């Protein structure tokens, strides 16, 4: 009996296959974006939205594959020096860039990765800020502290599987609901943005579709990380399908009504199918209701909070030299202060709804796109004349082509991060003017 329970536990929690990597990629990428992408389409206009979304999915695939090549190169070089270097050790992006390029690259990458992951983790606590934040943020924070007991990325198989089921069901529901919903009179379908700044606000959503916040942690949890390019490619295809088709259905039905409602599911009538989509997304990640039941909030936010705080815990375990310790208790002692800092930040700065776009525009574009593409150029520049290396990485592409693509991504992301940051700062200023600063209940209606 004990043996059967052990096998069931391994089946649910321990995974390092290509399929597990795909589950982790899909579960950390799409979720709440299913409900906000339709609003982004209405802001950007139909033609531009489709093109930009497709472009960023392609950029995301290229950047992710480039990161995998850098990871494999770093691991090969490091293991030649010390074959036992990575025993009980989780490799992270800043170590890859630092090992290949030097300490400054490691420090810069570490800054942007902590910024991305720390902001996302803080947002998960702030997801309760439409209630009394002083009370609920304390309660949720206490529950989320349990995340310090999750050892590695291989222990999220069951949660990631739930996430994929949730997004597939919700995507089909949104497609069908958009088709069968009664026709709305005088609906206008925006084909262009209303103003210049509004065009760049939704760009952070499109960038997020092609961005993976923890790529190296996912590939390092694989038994065969050299196969990462396959789940990453299919993850991009999955993300494109479950975001593009439902959004098209809702955009065609509601048109400019989406401009006034960032949460697309709120435009649909209540039904058992809508409730099922809400519950599944809540259990996974997204806040699909204004005031969902407490237990739903706890479940969904705990999953995402745990996934995105894990890399931060690992960083500080390495800083205090307990990451390779056989005593998991020592690692927990290091993790607790890190969690407390995130918890205090959530209590002090209750800007729910504003942190995510700033995180993407400022941190994710650099940490997951600009730095890896730049590092690839510098790492393989000296060996560009060796055709075998280039062919092995990107079949049928010459070095000049690869160089041009990487430089193009760097310049494009610099442009998008700059204008995206500016547009969202303007949006923040407008929201602060309407709602106020540091209120007890940040997103509640006044009066």
Q: So where are the chain's domains?
A: 2-435
CATH class entry, domain 2-435: mainly alpha
Least Cα distance to 61 among 205, 311, 216, 231 occurs for 231
For residues 97 and 285, the answer to whether their CB atoms sit within 8 Å is no
pLDDT at 375: 94
64, 212 Cβ separation under 8 angstroms = yes
CB 371 within 8 A of CB 105: yes
Q: Provide the residue-wise pLDDT of the chain in tens; the chain has 447 residues.
A: 434 444 434 444 455 788 888 888 887 777 667 778 888 888 888 888 899 999 999 999 999 999 999 999 999 888 888 777 777 778 889 899 999 998 899 999 988 888 887 777 766 665 544 444 445 444 554 455 444 445 555 556 666 777 788 788 888 888 988 888 887 777 788 777 777 777 887 788 888 888 888 888 888 888 889 899 999 999 999 999 988 999 998 888 888 888 877 777 778 878 887 777 766 665 555 433 334 333 334 444 555 666 777 788 888 788 877 776 666 677 777 777 777 777 776 666 554 445 567 777 778 899 899 999 999 999 888 666 555 454 467 767 788 888 899 999 999 999 988 888 887 777 767 666 665 555 555 445 444
CB 283 within 8 A of CB 166: yes
The rounded distance, in Å, linking the Cα atoms of 52 and 42 is 13
CB–CB of 66/394 below 8 Å?
no
CB atoms within 10 A of CB 328: 12
Closest by Cα among 216, 117, 159, 113 to 20: 159
74 near 91, Cβ under 8 Å? Answer: yes
Q: Would you list the DSSP string of 325-389? A: -S-HHHHHHHHHHHHHHHHHHHHH---TTTHHHHIIIIIIHIIIIIHHHHHHHHHHSTTTT-HHH
Whole-number Å distance between alpha carbons of 367 and 407:
15
Q: In 181-292, which residue ranges form alpha helices assigned H by DSSP?
A: 196-200, 203-209, 215-220, 229-254, 272-284
Interior angle at CA 72, CA 67 and CA 75, nearest 5: 120
Q: Tell me what percent of the chain is helix, strand and coil, each rounded to the nearest 5.
A: 75, 0, 25
What is the C-alpha to C-alpha distance for residues 386 and 393, in angstroms, rounded to an integer?
12
Handedness of CA 202, 31, 144, 22 (dihedral sign): negative
Euclidean distance between CA atoms 361 and 421, whole angstroms: 5
C-alpha closest to that of 334 among 362, 304, 356, 314: 314
* 220 vs 310: CA distance, rounded Å: 13
The pLDDT value recorded for residue 291 is: 40
The answer to whether residues 317 and 337 touch, using CB atoms and an 8 Å cutoff, is no
Helix and strand numbers (H, E) in the chain are: 20, 0
The pair of three-digit structure tokens given for residue 277, joined into one six-digit string:
């989509």
The pLDDT of residue 152: 54
């Amino acid at each position: 009996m004990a043996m059967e329970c052990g096998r069931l536990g391994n089946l649910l929690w321990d995974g390092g296959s290509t399929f597990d990597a795909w589950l982790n990629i899909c579960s950390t990428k799409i979720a709440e974006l299913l409900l906000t992408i339709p609003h982004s389409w209405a802001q950007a206009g139909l033609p531009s939205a489709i093109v930009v979304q497709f472009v960023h999915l392609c950029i995301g695939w290229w950047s992710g594959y480039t990161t995998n090549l850098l990871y494999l190169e770093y691991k090969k070089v490091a293991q030649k020096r010390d074959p036992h270097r990575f025993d009980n050790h989780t490799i992270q992006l800043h170590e890859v860039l630092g090992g290949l390029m030097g300490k400054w690259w490691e420090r810069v990458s570490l800054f942007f990765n902590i910024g991305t992951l720390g902001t996302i983790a803080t947002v998960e606590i702030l997801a309760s800020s439409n209630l009394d934040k002083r009370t609920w943020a304390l309660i949720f924070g206490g529950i989320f502290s349990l995340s310090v007991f999750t050892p590695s990325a291989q222990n999220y198989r069951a949660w990631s599987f739930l996430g994929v089921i949730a997004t597939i069901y919700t995507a089909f529901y949104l497609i069908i609901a958009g088709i069968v919903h009664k026709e709305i009179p005088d609906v206008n379908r925006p084909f262009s943005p209303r103003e210049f700044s509004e065009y760049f606000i939704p760009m952070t959503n499109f960038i997020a579709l092609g961005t993976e916040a923890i790529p190296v942690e996912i590939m390092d949890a694989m038994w065969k990380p050299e196969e990462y390019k396959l789940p990453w490619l299919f993850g991009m295809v999955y993300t494109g399908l479950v975001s593009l088709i439902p959004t098209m259905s809702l955009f065609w039905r509601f048109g400019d009504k989406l401009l006034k409602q960032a949460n697309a599911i709120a435009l649909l009538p209540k039904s058992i199918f809508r409730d099922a989509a809400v519950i599944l997304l809540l259990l996974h990640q997204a806040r699909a209701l204004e005031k969902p039941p407490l237990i739903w909030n706890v479940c969904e936010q705990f999953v995402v909070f745990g996934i995105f705080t894990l890399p931060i815990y690992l960083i500080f375990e390495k800083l205090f030299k307990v990451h390779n310790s056989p005593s998991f208790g020592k690692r927990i002692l290091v993790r607790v202060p890190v969690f407390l800092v995130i918890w205090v930040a959530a209590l002090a700065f209750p800007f729910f709804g504003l942190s995510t776009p700033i995180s993407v525009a400022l941190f994710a574009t650099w940490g997951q796109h600009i730095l890896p593409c730049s590092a690839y150029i510098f790492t393989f520049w000296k060996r560009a004349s060796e055709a075998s290396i280039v062919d092995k990485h990107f079949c049928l592409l010459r070095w000049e082509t690869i160089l041009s693509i990487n430089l193009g991504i760097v310049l494009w992301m610099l442009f998008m991060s700059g204008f995206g940051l500016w547009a969202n700062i303007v949006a923040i200023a407008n929201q602060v003017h309407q709602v106020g600063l540091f209120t007890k209940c940040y997103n509640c209606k006044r009066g």
